[in-house]
Amino acid sequence: MPIPRRVNSNHLKWYKEIEKSLFRFFGLFDNLCSLCYEETLRQIEQGGERNNMEHWCCCVADNQVHDHWVVLNPIQEVSNGPLWYEEVKRKHAGWQEGMHRRRLPGNGPCPAICTGGCCIKSCRPITCTTQLCEKMIFVLNKSGVSGFGWHKALQIEEIIELPGILQALYGVRTGKVDSSQVELYLKSIKELAVKFSGVSLQRRKSLAAESIDHFLK
Ligand code: SF4
Ligand code: SF4
């Protein structure tokens, strides 16, 4: 993966704008991630229900911060200041006493996971911002928002049917992105969010619980 030599400020501005709109969309899954996190911790504390490990909370199982360190660090230094990682470690320090010493299926936990969720508030690793896990696809399918099956995780671009531009904005791929591409991307996410927010909160919550039952219990 190439190391961005210089962070392009225009690209970074667009990246943050898209990231915010994706955060709003992901927020519509309501408490799905916290249910997933709590159930994962419960299973780890009980010694791990091995057959479900592949569906454990992604932030507990994987370490996106170190997997993407070479590109994440320069972006974070520009975006959140040179002490960003010290701050992440400080917030992670109290994370579920002793839990980080447990054996996990991947190379997790990610150091950015804290009791209140992810403590990196902008310019997270791209995967964290674009990937919809199988539980999210389950909810989107059952609520009629998308027709994809939930046998695997998907990237948001597969759902909005647009080419990925975030890699170029983040500096992990060369190439120019223009404002019309950014506008189209933002418009597509907004349309998806409007469709998803048309599903009642009660229904979204009950599908989140159903999804956890389906994958984790
Ligand atoms: S695996 Fe899916 S539901 Fe669980 S924390 Fe990750 S994104 Fe959220
Ligand atoms: S950076 Fe944040 S969202 Fe990504 S894996 Fe780590 S804790 Fe989860």
Per-position pLDDT tens, the chain of length 217: 444 556 788 899 999 999 999 999 999 999 999 999 999 988 888 876 666 888 999 999 999 999 999 999 999 998 899 999 999 999 988 888 777 667 777 788 999 998 889 999 999 999 999 999 999 999 999 999 999 999 999 999 999 999 999 999 998 888 889 999 999 999 999 999 999 999 999 999 999 999 999 999 8
Within a domain: 44: yes
79, 33 in Cβ contact below 8 A?
A: no
Calculate ∠ Cα 17-21-23, nearest 5°: 115
Best of 72, 124, 130 to mutate for ligand 2, by most ligand atoms within 8 A of CB? 124
Domain annotation covers residue 195: yes
Does residue 4 fall inside a structural domain? no
Point out the ligand nearest to the CA of residue 109: 2
Dist CA 77 CA 127 (whole Å): 19
Global confidence as pTM: 0.93
- Residue 1 lies inside a defined structural domain of this protein: no
119 lines ligand 2 (CB under 6 A): no
Rg (CA), the chain: 18
137 CB under 6 A from ligand 1?
A: no
Residue 10: count other Cβ atoms within 10 Å of its Cβ.
Answer: 11
Query: Does ligand 1 have an atom closer than 6 angstroms to the CB of 135?
Result: yes
Domain range enclosing 176: 9-48+57-216
Cα–Cα dist 154/33, whole Å: 16
Q: Contact at 8 Å (CB) between 18 and 185?
A: yes
Give the chain's domain count.
1
Q: Is the residue at 209 inside a domain?
A: yes
DSSP-assigned letter for residue 217: -
DSSP for 9-29, written as a single string: HHHHHHHHHHHHHHHHHHHTT
